[in-house]
Amino acid sequence: MLPYVVKPGDTVLRIAQRFAINPTSLLATNPQIDVSSQLIPGLVLFIPSHAGTMYCVQQGDTFLRLASLFSMSLAALLAANPFLDPKQLVPGQLLAIPLGGYHRIVDARAEYGYKELLQDMDALELEYPFLERVCIGQSVMGKPIYALRIGEGPRKVHFNAAMHANEWITTPLLMTFIEDAAGACSLSRKLGGVDMRALIEQVTLWFVPMVNPDGVELVQEGLRHEHPHYAELLQWNRQSHRFTKWKANIRGVDLNDQFPAFWEEEVERRAVAGPGPRDYPGTAPLSEPEAKALAAFTTEQQFDLVVAMHTQGQEIYWNYRGYEPPEAESIAGRLGQASGYKPVKLRGSDAGYKDWFIYEYRKPGFTIEVGQGVNPLPIESFPDLYDEVRPLLLAVIQTMCGK
């Protein structure tokens, strides 16, 4: 068995993923923890033996070359060697080569947070140089908020995810679609029967995979004493250290109640006095840097259609106070046919991102409620969720091409 010292941000699933072992084996070897444990940095765990081989680094080797040599993703090789600097491989170093590794860049088998997002964006840019990454703003705690672009077409479509912290599973869903779309474009192959290379000649796709990185980190990793907002967050969460129900940003503001579309009515309807896990619209529209960044990016790009991904309910919201364009309902019907989700004409909701987009631009905007269950949806449901989401996202893009 191999001893392992827990680091900040580690979870049971992340450690099992890193060492390519079954989480059950890790728990059996370390009976003092369970899958929901908040692991304390410095705690020593024991990693059970697992199949694999070793490789001695040669002159000129890089992680990218070795990943290609052993037919695995760059992310899988990096995860198997967490203590090595990928930019400074030294001849003679030993690398672990996992057998039967996960041959994708985006790996949704454990909690998917901001660190995983940054690592995967780096790997995707290496693999697909035609991807563009831009920073559109920062979170309250200074984390850059990124957008990724695929395509050069005149019509612009935007997708965003993880606006609500405990709905973070929407981020790996969107990132997996980005990887699949980029791979299909690169290899001139079809994705779900759709010619992606032909589509991106007509449509530019802009993705913001994680709108609320501070909140996602809080939900996944819990609250530690050194957190700069420790006292306030504990108070807002009713003195509980469990943040699995937290939807808001790190200042306790619900980002999807932040947009200038009848915001005052939403404040009155919510009737939430102050910061907390959910439903507090803030002190003014766009008071929070995450919402302000997304609104500014939308204004700059002048999208033709937007999709905000949330969980859960298997529903598609397509209208807003009659300001939606005539074609919105028929597009929602098409998305419903592709995914099995139910188009819903929503009432009694204001100040959301798609509400503001429809109100401001009179263009099609949609909120997609992915999956069924209780947030956060279990990561074990990811394959089924992606099977639902992928045809829906493809249908959105095809709609903009008139197909």
| Coil/strand/helix, residue 300 | helix
Cβ atoms of residues 199 and 401 within 8 Å: yes
For 47, 57, 74, 95, 96, the CA distances from 63, given in Å and listed in that order, are 24, 10, 7, 10, 12
Cβ atoms of residues 41 and 8 within 8 Å: yes
Instruction: Determine the Cα–Cα distance for residues 62 and 283; give it in Å rounded to an integer.
Output: 50
Instruction: Determine the Cα–Cα distance for residues 88 and 64; give it in Å rounded to an integer.
Output: 13
Annotated active-site residue 369? The verdict is yes
For 197, 277, 398, the CA distances from 181, given in Å and listed in that order, are 9, 34, 13
Residue 45 structure tokens: 């765990």
Q: First-to-last CA distance in the chain?
A: 56
Instruction: Determine the Cα–Cα distance for residues 135 and 386; give it in Å rounded to an integer.
Output: 26
Q: Single out the catalytic residue among 116, 369, 380, 388.
A: 369
Cβ atoms of residues 178 and 209 within 8 Å: yes
Q: Which residues are designated catalytic?
A: 369
